Structure 1
Amino acid sequence: SAHVIHHHLMVVMPLMTECCGDIDHSPLTRISMLSLLLQLVDRSDISAWDRYAVTLVDKVVLPNLVWTSGDTAATIRLTAVRILTRVMERVDGGAKIQISKVLVTSLETLESCLDENDARIRKRMAVIFESLLSCCEADDTLIDELVLSKLYPKLLDRLDDSDDEVRVGFTRTLRALICDAFPPREAFDRTGQFFEYILKHSLIHLDDPNEEVSKAVFSFLSQISFYNPKVFVELVTKARTRHTTPERCDALLKTVSQP
């Protein structure tokens, strides 16, 4: 059990990387190992395993996020995503930065999880990407500007997800994208096209029939006006005439450049 193996990780971790590091290995063995690992990171004291966290993510979790067909493969991916979510929630400081550097090298794999059929995976990807993007505040070289310019539309698309919980989750991801990961506008978005694209798409959902979604979008938008106040005022003012709840737009306009 997890209560036992955390005392023997020096021996167990190489076994886990051997069994789980290759997607051609027995699926049932990988499920068993990943389930045990989930218990470990979920229930054990973080000091028991944090020194292995980077290896765990790189050699055990990420290989099992690669898409393959079948229900068993889907179960493996869900378990791997659950592990990664808990790791990102529990580690901090330098360990989290190191894990994030590993994740950046596997962005293509992470991005593929955004389109998973299982909403539970998509919901957790919102947390994972939020954690990753938040790390850019401490290390502004973590994600290359070109990578960011290709990533943000894929995250923004999740506001159109079929699951409302996923949509709410990605409003927090998008907040981290702009507040923590986007470089200063003068260096990254000089023409305002990135911010304008995000804002136009998000304002549509400010009028969402699901109150939880519309509130989450409002919260997100209220935190990003600083990035480009001119574009923000222009687009929110235009949206006001089309919205069934123009008072939300009025409230957003009050967030701009408050002394």
Structure 2
Amino acid sequence: MTSKRITQETFDAAVQENIEEFEMGPEEAVKEAMEQFESQGVDLSNIVKSVPKVSADGPQEPTHDILQALGDLQKSVASSSPEEVSTHLTRFCDQCKQHKACRFLAAQKGAYPIILAAWKLAAAGDQNLLLQALNALSMLTDGQPDLLDTQGLQLLVDTLAQSANEANLTCSGIRCVRHASLKHEQNRQGLVKAGVLPLLTSAIAQHGQHADVVREACWALRIMTFDDDIRVPYSNAHNHAKMIVQENRGLKVLIEAAKGRSPS
């Protein structure tokens, strides 16, 4: 049976009503709203359950920290200020780490194109900012692979190709590939068509001493062979597995990585 869902605005309005109409404290108001909706069979897993900010004049419209960070990030990107973008990307990522509901709300409020714009700004040559943008995209697409569009997919593959010598950038970029590919056959096929498989096997061969890179690349390769997207009648899992082994020396690369050395 499909669970009922509500919007963030509906939940926030219920909290606000509890404060204004029933004179509850902020924490009590949130708890009461949660109990009310859960008793009705509502799934609150994608709802940010935060306390509204209260000023001396009384409760204000709830403004969640993730949306404040996103708004500030958007302004800094619009002004093309790398230092400010870096600061707000850090804030945004910190908020995304709190709960998946924060990532869900951010995506609903247009976070993806903002992150994409920050990514393009960083691609001009600021590697530290590029790493932050990739980390933000990785967090945002975790559990939300539908966010990746054609432009982002190609930019991701291009970034991996251009940053092949940088272990940190490679690791973060491959994590984006992994998140975008899980339970998303269209993204998998698009990434393979764009040339991601040789980038994954090359990353293992080139960065064999970096455990995080090897781990992420192995996970990504494995996901490329999944048949886990219930929205499509069939997958290219078998073809992808053949391509990994026959066209990209996948088996040799993995065996050599397991031995702790790079393939010749």
Tell me the TM-score range normalised by the shorter chain. Answer: 0.5 to 0.7
Partner of 1:179: 226
Letter in 2 for 1:127: R
Deviation at 1:110, TM superposition (A): 1.0
The residue aligned with 1:196 is 242
- The total of aligned residue pairs comes to 191
Report 1:12-27 matches (<5 A). Answer: 13-20=70-77, 22=78, 25-27=80-82
Q: CA 1:202/1:37 → structure 2, altered by over 3 Å: closer, same or farther? A: same
Instruction: Give the deviation of 1:59 after TM superposition.
Output: 2.7
Flag the structure with higher helix content: 1
For the 8 Å contact 1:57–1:84, the answer to whether it is kept is: no
Kindly report which structure 2 residues correspond to 1:72-151, keeping only aligned pairs within 5 A, or say none. 73-89=126-142, 92=143, 96-97=144-145, 100-115=146-161, 116=163, 117-136=165-184, 140=185, 142-143=186-187, 145=189, 147-151=190-194
Q: Is the 8 A contact 1:155 1:170 kept in 2?
A: no
| CA deviation vs aligned residue, 1:170-225 (integer Å, no higher than 9, x gap) | 1211111121379788x859xx87543321311222431653689xxxxxxxxxxx
Residue 36 of structure 1 pairs with residue 91 of structure 2: yes
Distance 1:13 1:148, change over 3 A: closer
Residue 163 of structure 1 pairs with residue 207 of structure 2: yes
Q: Flag structure 1 segments of 5+ consecutive residues without an equivalent.
A: 215-259
Deviation per residue, 1:33-56 (Å, 9 max, x gap): 1122122112x3443453122545
Equivalent pair of 2:96/2:140 in contact (CA under 8 Å): yes
Question: Is 1:85–1:128's contact at 8 Å kept on the other side of the alignment?
Answer: yes
Check conservation: 2:225, 2:240, Cα contact below 8 A: no
Contact 1:6–1:49 (Cα < 8 Å) also in 2:
no
Letter of the 1:27 counterpart = P
Q: Secondary structure at the match of 1:108?
A: helix
TM-score, normalised on structure 2? 0.58
Q: Partners of 1:25 and 1:39 in 2: how far apart? A: 22
d(CA) in 1 for partners of 2:218, 2:84? 36
Relative distance call for 1:57 and 1:119 in structure 2 (3 A) is farther
| Aligned partner of 2:196 among 114, 129, 154 | 154
Query: What is the match of residue 245 of structure 1?
Result: none
Q: Compute the displacement of 1:105 (Å).
A: 4.2
Higher gyration radius (CA) = 2
Instruction: Name which of structure 1's ranges 52-61 and 77-86 shifts more when overlaid on structure 2.
Output: 52-61
- Asked whether the equivalents of residues 112 and 147 of structure 2 are also in contact (C-alpha less than 8 Å), the reply is no
Whichever residue aligns with residue 196 of structure 2, its letter is K
Structure 2 regions of 5+ residues with no counterpart? 1-50, 54-61
Structure 1 residues 54 and 126, CA gap change in structure 2 (3 angstroms)? farther
Residue 25 of structure 1 aligns to a residue whose secondary structure is coil
* TM-aligned CA deviation for residue 109 of structure 1: 1.1
**Equivalent-residue separation in structure 1 for 2:257 and 2:153 (angstroms):** 33
Describe the shift of the 1:9–1:57 C-alpha distance in structure 2 as closer, same or farther (beyond 3 A). closer
Identity of aligned residues (%): 14
Work out whether residues 76 and 84 of structure 2, in 8 Å CA contact, stay in contact via their aligned partners in 1: yes
Shift in alpha-carbon separation, 1:33–1:113, aligned structure 2, 3 A: same
